[in-house]
Structure 1
Amino acid sequence: MAEETVHESARPRRRWLTQRGERVRGVILRAAVQCFVEVGYGRTTMSEVAKQAGVTRGQVQHHFATTPDLLAAAVRWLHAEIGRELDAGLAARDGARGSLAETAVSVLWAHASGSLQTAARELTAAARTDPELRRVLDESRAEIEAERNGRLRHLYRELLELDPPGFAMLADYMQVFLHGLAETSFASDDEARKAALLDFFVSNIRRFWTDRGKSPDAVSTGQVRDRAAIPRGG
């Protein structure tokens, strides 16, 4: 059988179609996550996602055969996007301003109270009564935690070397505290009270290292900013 000849003029069109398909897929996944926030996971359907994305239901089905396929892909996309936004936030910070703990907490808090993390919490809440979603999240949890831990090791490797068990516990502590605070609403002076708690939280982080006779100055905010600007493996 003779080899198929691919004309050079056809290759750019194929690349364009592939790139266009990836862009549409991204638009659909972002729309699905937005639906999690606006209407809740339980009411997120292919039709609702198509409407949010500004595409046809057929286009959604072209990329995702079933609603469970779409929702599972949206969960994975959401957590990857959270990581990318975190890196972008750290990379944009002025390394000369604020201590390492202040900078980390400031960026992490902005993301913990943002729309992507709101969507992630919506999923966690919905999974309590949705067995299929709970299965998807359970299957993704190890991958998500490995990605988070890998990012922290990349950004704060010197702190990890100072005290690996302490570093891991502090990472969990920060996640639990910031997400808990994001879900809390005070009856009065909400922003001021949250700001005071964040200051207290930063003081606790500093004390965490001091009590162990360690110094977080092993890494600077500038180093973290520069590392965040370069993808891991780059």
Structure 2
Amino acid sequence: MTRAGGTGPATTRRPTQADRSAYTRNALLESAARGLSRYGYGRLRLEEVAREAGYTRGALYHQFKDKQDLALAVIAWIGETWTQEVGSLIERESEPVAALLTLARGHAVYCRRDVARVVTALRLEFNGQDHPVGREVERTYQEFVTDCMDLISAGREAGSIPPGPPVRTLALAFVGALDGTVIALAGQAPHDELLAARAVAGVLGLDSLAVTHH
């Protein structure tokens, strides 16, 4: 490959300060997500987050003002990366059951980075408290439940999901079965992906063939 108008090899663009800052921030967020998944908010130690990411505590404070700021950023980061990695797969499915099974499989794969317990841990830790982190994680959880409700409603209208409990009740069971399975099967790839799909298929009232066919 040559430069436009030249004959020598193309030069690789050197990372800018903004590139390096973004890389550092992402590494710290992923490390913090693992820490929150393992220990929860109260026991999360910022120096350990920084060390696991390969940075100093000063580098962490350059990106985030305190633990609360970091935790809120982790919740946003999970939402963004999950949408990029799993949401994009769901959008390719035109049939609700296929979308729900793809969601389950994709979620299991996404959580292999040891972040499966973040939402569950934070919801339990802040249950009944009026705290910014608790409010934000609850908002994102309810948003996820609503998205599942929409797919379940569409499946029932299409006749691919049988009638049964109220849609919201079914969506809550779907999310609970998915989270519980993925958390229990941490480190059990590739079985986590298949069994997550089977777990939610059971909740939805589908037979096991539906998982294989989708």
TM-score by length of 2: 0.59
TM-superposed CA distance for 1:62, in Å, is: 0.9
Q: CA distance change for structure 1 residues 89 and 64 in 2, over 3 Å: closer, same or farther?
A: same
Distance 2:102 2:75 in 1: 28
Q: CA distance change for structure 1 residues 72 and 207 in 2, over 3 Å: closer, same or farther?
A: closer
In structure 2, the partner of 1:141 is: 138
Distance 1:102 1:150 in 2: 14
Q: Identity of aligned pairs, percent?
A: 19
In structure 2, the partner of 1:3 is: none
Distance 2:126 2:177 in 1: 21
> Deviation per CA, 1:158-208, whole angstroms, max 9, x where unpaired?
926938x965554333102222445569xxxxx8xx95x964752552469
Where relative contact order (Cα < 8 A, 6+ residues apart) is larger, the structure is: 1
- Report if the CA contact (8 A) 2:86-2:107 is conserved: yes
Matches within 5 A, 1:160-175: 162=157, 168-175=168-175
Distance 2:156 2:200 in 1: 23
Matches within 5 A, 1:211-226: none
Is 2:201 the counterpart of 1:202?
yes
Distance 2:84 2:144 in 1: 11
Distance 1:41 1:60 in 2: 16
> Deviation per CA, 1:111-158, whole angstroms, max 9, x where unpaired?
5787222233232333359x57x54122342245336645885xx599
Q: What residue ranges of structure 1 are gaps of 5+ in the alignment?
A: 1-11, 186-190, 209-215, 222-234
In structure 2, the partner of 1:159 is: 154
- Report if the CA contact (8 A) 2:119-2:137 is conserved: no
- Count residues with an aligned counterpart: 181
What amino acid maps onto 1:162 in structure 2?
A: E
> Deviation per CA, 1:23-55, whole angstroms, max 9, x where unpaired?
211111111112223444323222111101111
Q: CA distance change for structure 1 residues 150 and 105 in 2, over 3 Å: closer, same or farther?
A: closer
CA RMSD of aligned residues (A): 4.5
In structure 2, the partner of 1:35 is: 35
The secondary structure found in structure 2 opposite 1:65 is coil
Could you list the structure 1 runs, at least 4 aligned residues long, displaced by more than 6 angstroms after superposition. none
Q: CA distance change for structure 1 residues 135 and 107 in 2, over 3 Å: closer, same or farther?
A: same
In structure 1, the partner of 2:4 is: none
Q: What residue ranges of structure 2 are gaps of 5+ in the alignment?
A: 1-12, 159-164, 186-190
Is 2:115 the counterpart of 1:120?
no
Matches within 5 A, 1:98-109: 100=98, 103-109=102-108
Distance 1:55 1:67 in 2: 16
Distance 1:26 1:60 in 2: 11
Q: CA distance change for structure 1 residues 59 and 151 in 2, over 3 Å: closer, same or farther?
A: farther
The secondary structure found in structure 2 opposite 1:69 is helix
- Report if the CA contact (8 A) 1:40-1:122 is conserved: yes
In structure 1, the partner of 2:9 is: none
Structure with higher helix content:
1
Distance 1:68 1:204 in 2: 35
Q: CA distance change for structure 1 residues 146 and 126 in 2, over 3 Å: closer, same or farther?
A: closer
Distance 1:178 1:162 in 2: 23
The secondary structure found in structure 2 opposite 1:80 is helix
The more displaced of 109-118 and 175-184 is 109-118
> Deviation per CA, 1:88-118, whole angstroms, max 9, x where unpaired?
6658x9x8xxx73655544445557872222
